Amino acid sequence: MTDLTLAALLPALESRFGPDVKVLPSRKEVLGVVQVKVDRLVEVARFLHDQGTFTHCALVSGVDWIEHIEVLYHLWSDALKGYLEITVETAPEDPHVPSVTSIWRGANWHERETWDMLGVRFDGHPDLRRVLMPEGYRFHPLRKSFELHEPEELEVKARHV
Amino acid sequence: MSEMWINMGPQHPMTHGLWNLRVKVDGELIVDVDPEIGYLHRGIEKICEYRRYNEVVTLMDRTCYVAGIAWEQLYIMAAEEALNISPPPRAEYVRVLSQELQRLSSHVMWYAAYVQDIGLMTPFLYGMRDRDLILDLFQSYTGARMTYEFMRVGGVRNDVPVGFTDRCRKVMDWFDQRLPEYEKVCDNSTIFLERTKGIGVLKAADCVNDGVTGPMLRAAGVDRDLRRDRPYSVYPELDFDVAVYDAPDCYGRYRVRMEEMKQSVRIVRQVLDWLDRNPGPVLAEKVPRFVGTPSPPPGKEIYVERRGYPKGRGFSAMEEPHGEAMAYIINEGAEHPYRAKLRSPVFVNIAASKDYLVGYRVSDIPAIMGSVDICVGESDR
Amino acid sequence: MNATNTSGTARIITHVKETDPMEPEVPFAEVEAVQSKEYIPVIKETLTGMIQRGLDAATKPVFNWAGRNSLFPLHWGLACCAIEFAAGFGARWDGERFGVVPRSSPRQCDLLIVNGTVTWKLSHKLITLWEQMPEPKWAIAMGNCATGGGPFRTAYSVVPGVNKLIPVDVYIAGCPPRPEAMLDGILRLERLIRERRA
Ligand code: SF4
């Protein structure tokens, strides 16, 4: 079953992985939205890569929902000509997600960026360093608890401490 | 031989921006590379969360400064998806016109900078002169040369002025003459051919696995162009070919860009004809007021509590001059985006640099990295 | 008076106290100094200093004139403004007719045009570049970002104004400034150099 049509793909995922995979209502600009349990992520990814023709991992990103952190994967299939959206939920304190770099090398820097910006640790990543902020920076700026200020405000604060 | 690491950057004539290519060399041979970026990280994704939907457009221009309007449209498409607004058809055509003019100017800029790096000075002057003609066109309908702030949620800010289409046609005629001349300069130059052919090879399978997109991917023979494969805006109604070449090296990338410029001229002509025939509005009628009106920036409590408007998520992908760019906007019902994520093709193309640099000489680095077409504003955001 | 001389004076005092009236009035150490011809370098230094000053007074206007008419800016690109910087040296504006030739090495430059956003990650690299440039040198902050942070002034990673790091002579407003504005900024800097010195 190398050439899955879209109609066959999502049921195949559900039957293979059972309750660990949940197909969410789709939007018109993606092929489908699939929610995956964290511990089965690599298996699902391998299945999609090998049997679902999703050869190109376009984007790995994350969203801070305060109650939890959502990690998003957008995968492109040349056969189906569209993007599949995979979402994974993880805890806000010390979030851990398995890395998919062993399947798509292109995910490497996207995962580094997600670690840099949101503080999500990708287990099994070969080289999880900060990529945009300098090494040794203490914050993860895209967390909602990190707020922006006018530079003067910061200076005033620093002077009054 | 002993190996050593050398830094090429952040200030280096090869980099075309600020980033640092650390290369491990054994004599002249490159053994390992470790690119380091982030010197221009301006926190655009974070600032977006503090701006109204229309105010974000300002930041998008500055994200990629050689292809500002491409990023405007990318963001606007995702935001329209998230807010559930659709623009009138004439606005779509003006957008596509801007897209293709921008692709032309971006590729001309690349041509000017790249061929100068390789050792030919004339193309720089040719390129900069012809690029200014396109920027003049932009200036006549957006008011700026580089940072346009032209697109709005639900359309574009204003229509093209009277007489614009004729002026634009003249520039396109000029480009019809110039593009063969560009090619002649390079293809008749032994220096150019020697320094680009068979250099910086990245095979198709590696391209796909590394996530490399754009002219690099098409030069490797992979026939993928989002304008045709995942049509957005009014591209399905336009007639154009996808430039593909079967040499995954610097020369192939140059060929693909040259061909894309010709196709852009072709698309612009079709759009101009359509614009002449179909007058109409360029901004949607029912746009919620909050997308543009100013208000104090939100604190954390506003994210959580003020979620009165309809919610939605928007995802858009488009073929930007450098490759496939994506935007992901989450609208949580507040007046500002809850999260704006941008995917830059250059970011991924730099990340894969180990695969196309190792095994070549240090003196090949400018030729190889130049052919990637790096825009640091975009990769660092 | 230079350093060798002061140490000599200290010895003089100790000697003067011990001398008897029969000894000549000239302190012993000074005689020693005269005999060992230590004074020659001192005189030489004073003389060369005088000549130098005279020469400087005569040549400085010439060098200043030459310098301000051929400012060599550093060829680098920080952000969006760098594209307009490049356009300023393209076919239409041709900045080189003002003798402004971008060089790639900071050691050949006397003008640093900060053409874009400066981030904290870059800040010490920028200072290194500035320190590598030989004196006399000038700096131009091109665009709103270099002047005061521009649209990104609230961001966590951006330096709000490059004058927090290096001294700036001329600020050019605009986001980005047009190439004409950049060339005007360079001409204004030339005027500033003329008024300050020469
Ligand atoms: S001033 Fe404007 S154009 Fe210049 S670097 Fe800053 S944002 Fe870019």
Instruction: Answer yes or no: is A148 within a domain.
Output: no
**Residues written for chain B:** 381
**List of residues 6+ apart from B13 with CB closer than 8 A:** B117, B366, C75, C104
Q: Is the CB of C175 inside a 6 Å radius of any atom of ligand 1?
A: yes
pLDDT tens by residue, C63-96: 777 777 778 888 887 888 888 888 888 788 888 8
Domains and CATH numbers, chain B: 40-198+256-353+363-380 (1.10.645.10)
Name which of A8-12, B85-89, B349-353 the model is least confident about. A8-12
Ligand 1 atom with the smallest distance to the CA of C143 is 1
At B330 the pLDDT is 86
Contact B208 A56 (CB under 8 A): yes
Give the relative orientation of helices B365-372 and B250-277 as an angle to the nearest 10 degrees.
20
**Given a contact as 3+ CB pairs under 8 Å, which chains touch B?**
A, C
In chain C, where are the structural domains located? 28-67, 71-195
The SS3 assignment for A59 reads strand
Torsion of CA A142, A145, A147, A153, to 10 degrees: -150
Interface of B with C (CB under 8 A): 10-13, 16-18, 38-44, 46-47, 50, 58-59, 61-62, 65-66, 109, 112-113, 124-129, 131-132, 145-147, 376-377
Give chain C positions within 8 Å (CB) of A134.
120-121
Q: What average pLDDT does range B223-250 have in this prediction? A: 85
What is the residue-wise DSSP string for A139-150?
--TTSTT-----
Instruction: Answer yes or no: is A88 within a domain.
Output: yes
Instruction: Answer yes or no: is A154 within a domain.
Output: no
Contact A132 B208 (CB under 8 A): no
At B145 the pLDDT is 85
At B1 the pLDDT is 60
At C1 the pLDDT is 39
* CATH number, position A94: 3.30.460.80
Interface of C with A (CB under 8 A): 120-121, 149, 153-157, 160
Instruction: Answer yes or no: is A147 within a domain.
Output: no
Q: What average pLDDT does range B51-74 have in this prediction? A: 85
Instruction: Answer yes or no: is A16 within a domain.
Output: yes
Closest CA to B336 of B373, B364, B309: B309
- Tell me the ipTM for this assembly: 0.81
pLDDT, block means (10 residues), chain C with 198 residues: 42 48 58 64 85 82 76 83 85 84 84 86 85 85 86 82 86 88 88 71
- Best residue for ligand 1 mutational test, from C76, C144, C158, C162 (most atoms within 8 Å of Cβ): C144
CB neighbour burial string for B143-175, b if at least 16 within 10 angstroms, e if fewer: ebbbbbbbbbbbbbbebbeeebbebbeebbeeb
**List of residues 6+ apart from C56 with CB closer than 8 A:** none
Instruction: Answer yes or no: is A149 within a domain.
Output: no
Greatest C-alpha distance within chain C: 88
Ligand 1 atom with the smallest distance to the CA of C78 is 5
Mean pLDDT score across all residues of chain B: 83
Instruction: Answer yes or no: is A161 within a domain.
Output: no
Distance C144 CA to ligand 1 centre (A): 6
Q: Is C125 on the interface with B (CB under 8 A)?
A: yes
Distance B64 CA to ligand 1 centre (A): 11
R_g of chain B, CA atoms, integer Å? 21
Instruction: Answer yes or no: is A151 within a domain.
Output: no
pLDDT tens by residue, B277-329: 888 777 777 666 555 444 444 444 444 444 456 777 888 888 888 888 888 88
Q: How far apart are CA B320 and CA B326, in angstroms?
A: 9
Contact C106 B13 (CB under 8 A): no
At C34 the pLDDT is 60
Residue B37 pLDDT exceeds 70: yes
Q: What average pLDDT does range B234-244 have in this prediction? A: 85
**Residues written for chain A:** 161
Please state, for a pLDDT cut of 90, what percent of chain B lies above it.
0
| Structural domains in chain A (count) | 1
**List of residues 6+ apart from B206 with CB closer than 8 A:** B212, B352, B355
Q: Is the CB of C173 inside a 6 Å radius of any atom of ligand 1?
A: no
Beta strand pairing call for B155-156 and B312-320: unpaired
pLDDT tens by residue, B154-173: 888 888 888 888 888 888 89
Q: Is the CB of B62 inside a 6 Å radius of any atom of ligand 1?
A: yes
> Distance, in angstroms, between B20 CA and closest chain A CA?
12
The domain of A25 spans 6-131
Mean pLDDT score across all residues of chain A: 80
- For the domain made up of C71-195, the CATH class stated in words is alpha beta
At C3 the pLDDT is 41
